[in-house]
Structure 1
Amino acid sequence: MTKYVFVTGGVVSSLGKGIAAASLAAILESRGIRVTNIKLDPYINVDPGTMSPFQHGEV
């Protein structure tokens, strides 16, 4: 049976969420659970590289 874990948050940086997700995956894999990490960028039809840091919450 497939189960999903979503790591979300507006306060923690993308790097922090990535580290948290990778750490959780490492713990689960050490217990013999098969894990696949997928990063999903929620911007639709927008390039976040051209947005102001204030617009997408970096500041």
Structure 2
Amino acid sequence: MPPELRKSLARELHKYALGLMVIFLLFAITFALAFVRFDQHEKFAEYQLYLKWLTIERKLQKPFGK
């Protein structure tokens, strides 16, 4: 395979790889923002996030307000 063709193919594939990485990063950022907004919303205040449910003794905490 000639070097010029190899470089053009690599450049073409790098565009696709970069595009997929950007899509993944946008998904991760929007997921994190939605997670934070859900945590701060008053409608769901009595529910705790799954990371906060377990105590050191590994027992489930009761939801707030109950």
Tell me the TM-score normalised to structure 2 length. Answer: 0.30
Instruction: Give the number of the structure whose alpha-carbon radius of gyration is greater.
Output: 2
Structure having the larger proportion of residues in helix: 2
Tell me the TM-score normalised to structure 1 length. Answer: 0.34
